[in-house]
Structure formats: C-alpha cells, structure tokens
Chains A and B, each alone.
Chain A
Amino acid sequence: MFPEAFKYSVAKSVNHAIKWLLNTHGSAFDSFSSGILGLLLWVQGILVSIPWWAYIAFIAVMAWIATRKIIPVIVLAVLPVFIGMFGLWHLALETLALVITSVVIALAIGIPMGVLMAEAKYFAEFIKPVLDAMQTMPSFVYLIPAMMLFGLGKVPAVIATLIYALPPVMRLTCLGLQQVPKPVQEAALAYGATRWQLLKEVRIPLAMPSILAGVNQTTMMALAMVVIASMIGARGLGQEVLMAINRIDVGRGFEAGISIVIMGIVIDRITQGLAKRWDPNRK
C-alpha cells in the first residue's frame, strides 16, 4: 500500500477555490453565461425559422459542391428526412444550434491559438500538456464545476463541449503550419516577405487542408458531446437518448441514436468535401 504519511488531498482546496470563484466573481460568470446563452438562442432562433425542405435543399447543394457525384448527393439529402420521420426534427435543431455555437467559439479561439503555437515554440511547449489534459480528462469532471459556475442548461454544455472540442483544431492548425514546405517559405522570404506576409500569403493558405481537417474534427467531437451535455439539462437529441436509457426504451434510444449518427455523417461528408476543394495543390 501507498504510505499513509504521504497522503495529501487537494479535493478540499479545489472545492474552496470553486466556491471562492462563485462568491467573488459570480456576477461576472452570470453575465458571461447570459452572453453565450444569447448567442445560442439567436442561432437556434434562426435555425428553427428555416423550413425543413430548405435544409434538405441546402444539404443537397453543399454535397454537390463538395463531392460532384449524384449518389452521395441523394443519400446525404435523404438521410435527414428520417430524423423528421422519427419526430425528432426540432430536437435535432436544438442540438445543431448547440454544435454550431460551440464550434464557432472553438474556431474563433482555436485557429488563432494554433497559429500562435506554430509561431511561438515556448507557447506550444506550455500549451501541449494543457491540450492533453483537456482531451483526456473525463468530461463529467469538468461538467460539475461548469454547472456550478454557469448554471444548469445549455451554457455549461457549450463550455464543456468547448473544452472537449477545442484541442483538435488547435493541434491541426499548428501541424498544418509546421508542415508547409520549407523551399516555398524560403522563396517568399528571399523576395522580402515579412513574418506577417509569410503567414498570410504562404503559410495559412498552404496549411488550409489541415486547418479544415481540424474544423471537421472539432465539429465531430462537439456532436459527440451532446449526450453528455444533456445530463446537465441541455435539451436536444442527447436528452432523448438519456430518457431512453432511464426508461430502458431500446426503440426510442435507437431512433435518437440514429438521428445523431445521421447528423454526424452529413456534417462530416460536407466539411470533408469542402476541405478537399480547398486543396492548394490543384491543377
């Protein structure tokens, strides 16, 4: 056994720290929380106001742009109809709103941070273990403090999703920038590119496939978080899954699960296809 004398618990101090944060900066968290909620509800409002057939049309057009093949277009356009048939259309839109909001925030933070990681080595050394922690820490662990600080419902769900979904886009942005061929960068420097010009004209455009792969990964991971997010009261398809588990209703769980899978496939194929279109090595 591990010696008793070395026993030391940080649980209490962590509890204290969260309580202290809550007591002293509670209002700041509240206003932050309402800001995110406002954004989320705005996104959701827009999504709900769009008729269902417009989604199908939009998906068909995007799939065409992305793949230029007729069969994928038909499959991708027909799949979401099943969500509506199961009576889960509105819940799916709520999930979509949650995913879009989280992904937009994740990209707004993640892409600049990824660029910073590639540009400043020391920052990268410092941030890498943090990213590892964000990805390996079981999400329930930060769900609790997120809930305490941001209240029940959608906002802690967005925060938790953000923590989980942010690392891939940061890592892939950084990786993409590091893999830009040296001869091309050297040529740009030889013609008098400044650091900023090099980044804007050469490195970011050439890193685009990797950055877009990061966007795709982040979106997929955000979608994977929706079931867990529903445990703290975020409505959506996850809630449906959760209820099916509680009632041991296999059929209902299957419908909700399949709906999540359909959303995943459609979003994945479209973002991947767009990433391919963006390949800088075109002819």
Chain B
Amino acid sequence: MAENVIDVKELWKVYSKKDIDLDVEDEEMIESLDSSSDSVVAVRDVTFSVKPGEVFIVMGLSGSGKSTLIRCLLRLVDISWGSVTINGQEVTAMNKKELTEFRRNQAAMVFQHYGLLPHRTVLENVSFGLKLRGVPKKERRERAREALKIVGLEKWDDYYPAALSGGMRQRVGIARALVVDTPLLLMDEPFSGLDPLIRREMQDELVRIQEEFHKTIFFVTHDLDEAMRLGDRMAVMRNGEIVQIGKPAEVFADPADDYVARFVQDKREEIRKTDEQMAALVAQSEEVVSDDVS
C-alpha cells in the first residue's frame, strides 16, 4: 500500500495570550487552559491520515477548529504539540527555509475569502506561486494560461479580481492552486461564500478536475451536502476534537454521538420527506393505473 499523503499524530493547537509550553500529559495544565478565558484549545489531540488520491473532508460547525487544523498542515499557525507529516516530510521538524520550500512545492491552498492580490491581474494572480518559486516569466504565463483554461476563465486573464464575481474569483483561486502542480490540495471552505447554484456548479467542477488530475484533496466545510457529494472519507470535528471518521455514508447511517446525529438530522428529514412524497406519487399513479384497468 502506498504511503499516506498526510499523517497527523496527536496534534494540539492552543491559542493563548501568555506564552505557554504545552505538555499534553499534564492534565492539570490542560484543565486550566480549558477553564481560562485567556486561552482556547482550538485543536485537541487530533490523529488521522489521508491516502493518495483521496478527497478527505473535515466537517464541523464554526469554531470547531477545522480552519485551524488546515492551517496547521502548512504551519500557517504555530503548532503547540504533535507531528504533521506530508508527502513523507515532517512539517513540524522543518526550519524556516525548508518550510518555505515545502509550501512552494508540496501543497497548494484555496481559501474561503479567495486571498487574491487586488493589484494583480487574474493571470498574474494565477502565476503567483510560480513567481515565488522563481520560474521565468514566459513559462509561468504559459502555465497560468493553461490553468485558466481548465477553470474556464481564459478570456479573463487581463482583468483585475475586483471585476469578477465570487464564483469566478474562486475559479482563479483554484487555477492558482492547480498551476503549481502539487500533489496535495488544501481547501478551506472554498465554496461557502458562494450562492447555492454557483456552489453546486463549482462542486461539479471540482469533481471533474479531480477525475482529470487525481490530486489528494483535504477539504474543510460546514456543509453536509458538500461533504457527501465530494468526500471519499470525512472527519467530524467538535471543540477541536475529531469525534468520528469514516465514509460519508457510514457517518450518515451511523452517527457516533448526538452531535454528529444532529448534523445529519436535517438531511435525514429531507430524505424522509422526499421518500414520502415519492411514495405518495407512486400511490397516486398506481391508483390512476388501477382506475384505467377497471
């Protein structure tokens, strides 16, 4: 079996006003961190792994630590405890230079708020990652054009992000992530800010891109529909902890606790209603058929 793309072991992240030296064995310390208003345990003892080519979903309500978790993978926030290994490289052990190299070549991220440079054109935004790597201008423009073609924005290369709609901006964000050609794609609620129709369209787009490129995707969302449509496996987070990991259908069918159950309840309700309506329709048509016969 191939090696895991992401291996996270006993990961902790504590936000604190004071400098603290976290020791997870020290139960008293954890307790005092939990009760103190100066500190928040955002990620608590999280362990999981992601296999190559997998779409791994992390789902949870806002404040459950999922955004912090995705930032820990690139060390965009300092990690308090534990280890993160990506593509066989231990991210937690890297010095600054190695970390920069790692971010440039191993993973690309798509953000909820796009994070595009307003003073750069679409094409320049897409080629930004290549520019940071020092790729010559001609080559990076060519590659950026190709990436724009993939997301269907090839005619918009000379526009500034302010001229684009939310969905188009996120396409630029996705093109920017594709152009650097990294094995791993990190997506932090990429479609949450978009209206439902566009969201649906973008999800289809991502499925299509995934069929073509077979990336490993780490996808954060608070939307169960999205998780069920896109995910190969999903993890549900609450208060910084992963409460359940499994295939979306498994989580849906067999929630580990009340919290997860409440998550899937709306969806179940929806399905139950649809089933009832279907049943009613079927009954109606059967009546019509039997009327005809008689």
Interface residues of A (CB under 8 A from B): 183-184, 186-194, 197, 201-202, 205-206, 208, 280-283
Contacts and interface: CB of A to CB of B under 8 A. Distances in A.
Contacts of A190: 74, 76, 103, 108-109, 111, 115, 186
Given A184-B117, A186-B115, A192 B163 contact: no
Given A281-B162, A282-B162, A283-B162, A192 B132 contact: yes
A184 B132 contact: no
A201 B133 CA distance: 13
A147 to B, nearest CB: 45
B91 interface: no
Contact of B116 (A184, A189, A197): A184
A281 B163 CA distance: 10
Nearest to B102: A192
Given A191-B129, A192-B101, A197-B132, A183 B118 contact: no
17 contacts: A183-B115, A184-B117, A187-B115, A188-B132, A189-B76, A190-B115, A190-B186, A191-B104, A191-B176, A192-B100, A193-B132, A197-B132, A201-B117, A201-B128, A201-B132, A205-B119, A280-B118
B51 interface: no
Interface of B: 74, 76, 100-105, 108-109, 111, 113-119, 128-129, 131-133, 159-160, 162-163, 176, 180, 186
A283 B117 CA distance: 12
Contacts of A205: 117, 119
Contact of B103 (A191, A201, A281): A191
Given A187-B111, A192-B100, A193-B100, 18 more contacts: A183-B113, A184-B115, A187-B115, A187-B116, A188-B117, A188-B128, A189-B76, A189-B103, A190-B103, A190-B108, A191-B104, A191-B132, A201-B117, A201-B132, A281-B118, A281-B119, A282-B119, A283-B163
A234 to B, nearest CB: 40
Contacts of B186: 190
Contacts of B180: 191
A186 to B, nearest CB: 6
Contact of A280 (B76, B111, B119): B119
Contacts of A188: 115, 117, 128, 132
A256 to B, nearest CB: 42
Greatest chain B CB density within 10 A among A187, A189, A197, A201 is at: A187
A195 B76 CA distance: 13
Contact of B111 (A186, A197, A208, A281): A186
Contacts of B132: 188, 191-193, 197, 201
